[in-house]
Structure 1
Amino acid sequence: MSTTTPDESRSSDDHCTPDALLHSAPSQGVTPEDLAMAAGRDVTPKNLDWARRKLETDPKAVEKLMP
């Protein structure tokens, strides 16, 4: 038994979401809060200090955390 749906039975609004709508980037620079959250850390003063230092030495640090 096939689980595919023939094109004729699909609704007219059934389509793929464009890639540009699935991925976003900040319109401004990455903040220490962004980096802390991307690293899976709580937003605490200690983690924000870590993130600030990390961004100073590696501005693309958050990109390295993303798959």
Structure 2
Amino acid sequence: MSTPQPDASRPSGAGADEDRVTPDGLLHARTGTDVSPEDLVLAAGRDVTEANLEWARRKLADEGPAALDKLLP
């Protein structure tokens, strides 16, 4: 009895890996720009509401841009 191959449904051949690989430039939390409260709210998986924006403003005031780095892998 053989075991199913987890990648059996994925396309094979030239270019198949390129379709699944995230470009390195998209993997970084910041690109040298300022972190906005909206960025922090979205990275935390929260809805953009006034209460969540206020939470993000306080967190950014306390921790600076590193607050975003702490939320993202």
Q: 2:24 aligned with 1:55, yes or no?
A: no
Residue 42 (structure 1) aligns with: 47
**Between the two proteins, what is the percent identity of the paired residues?**
44
Question: What's the Cα RMSD here?
Answer: 2.6
Deviations 1:23-66 (A, max 9, x none): 24244111000000111111111110110000000011111011
Q: Following superposition of structure 1 onto structure 2, how do residues 12-23 of structure 1 map, counting pairs within 5 Å?
A: 14=15, 20-23=24-27
Choose 1 or 2 for highest CA Rg: 1
Unaligned runs of 5+ in 2: 6-12
Unaligned runs of 5+ in 1: 4-9
What TM-score results when the alignment is normalised by the length of structure 2?
A: 0.61
